[in-house]
Amino acid sequence: MDIFLRDPIEHLRTPTRSLLAFLVISHVFILPIRSEVLRTFMAELHREYITSGRREILDGKIYYDAEAKKVVVEVTSPIHQWMFLQKFETLIYYPQERKAFRMQARSDAVLPFFQLFIGCLKEDIGLGDLGYTFSRYEKKDDILISVWIPPIRFSKILGEAVLKLQANKLVEVQYKTPKGDLYSRGEFGQHVLFGGYFFPLDVSLAQLAGQQKSLERVTYSNPVFNRPLPPSIREFKIPEDIPVKNVLW
């Protein structure tokens, strides 16, 4: 129920009764006491990406600093690579090859698979921030389904988004085309509870339409919440003797 306190203007713009019902039902099975805020996150990372008959496997570690809004990925296989994403800058560093790239963009640097993980901090996984508005909900067995419509200015290229919650855990996300066909689907499992939120440690994203279909699966293991990040992450600097190639995006 704390959403009313956080976003009073937001819920007034949407169908109030439906939204109220959705929020009540989504909290009725488990009413989490969200007392602890996520400050940091660390875990081992395993990512598989299949597209065009090609399979890519990646192993490493991921670090997240909520205050600095920084995501750091250390890839250990197939290559030793560091990727630092913070605000509008992405830094890629290869310690063995002694090379580095600094890439600056006009929008926040993000990793979509990790955005879905962090998105579980919000009931709408951040759809509201993207301009989506709540449309309706329905309940099938113990699964609560909410439907969100895209901003009007993007209604020609984006369709509805569908969220499925089971026992207060996000289990599935569907993105549809404007015609209503399924464009992509995300499935979430192996949830871990922290601070009143359920975070999925197993995330699968499938792109089912378009020119190139793909399947991406990310699993997190040994998750650690709110522990201080290692100094090598917090205070990382590229050695001065390594040339940095600047790329402006």
CA-to-CA distance for 174 and 165, rounded, in angstroms?
12
208's CB contacts (< 8 A; 6+ apart) are: 182, 183, 184, 185
Min dist. Cβ of residue 92 to other proteins (A): 6
State which of residues 31, 192, 242, 247 lies at the interface with other proteins (CB under 8 A).
247
Specify whether the CB–CB gap between 198 and 191 falls below 8 A: yes
Min dist. Cβ of residue 2 to other proteins (A): 32
- Can residue 210 be called a binding residue for other proteins (CB under 8 A)? yes
State which of residues 2, 36, 97, 181 lies at the interface with other proteins (CB under 8 A).
97
State which of residues 41, 63, 65, 90 lies at the interface with other proteins (CB under 8 A).
90
Mapping DSSP to helix (H, G, I), strand (E, B) and coil, where does residue 187 land? strand
β pairing state of 214-225 and 40-51: antiparallel
Stretch that binds other proteins, among 13-21, 33-41, 89-97, 174-182 (CB under 8 A): 89-97
State which of residues 61, 69, 99, 217 lies at the interface with other proteins (CB under 8 A).
99
Min dist. Cβ of residue 126 to other proteins (A): 17
Residue of 227, 224, 19 lying closest to 128 (CA atoms)? 19
237's CB contacts (< 8 A; 6+ apart) are: none
Sign of the torsion formed by the C-alpha atoms of 200, 204, 209 and 210:
positive
- Can residue 211 be called a binding residue for other proteins (CB under 8 A)? yes
Phi then psi for 222, rounded to 5 degrees?
50, 55
- Can residue 121 be called a binding residue for other proteins (CB under 8 A)? no
Min dist. Cβ of residue 249 to other proteins (A): 5
State which of residues 85, 147, 171, 203 lies at the interface with other proteins (CB under 8 A).
85
Specify whether the CB–CB gap between 148 and 159 falls below 8 A: no
- Can residue 245 be called a binding residue for other proteins (CB under 8 A)? yes
- Residues lying near other proteins in the complex (CB under 8 A) are found at 47, 52, 56, 58, 60, 73, 75, 77-79, 81, 83, 85, 90, 92, 94, 97, 99, 101, 103, 105-107, 109-113, 156-157, 210-212, 245, 247-249
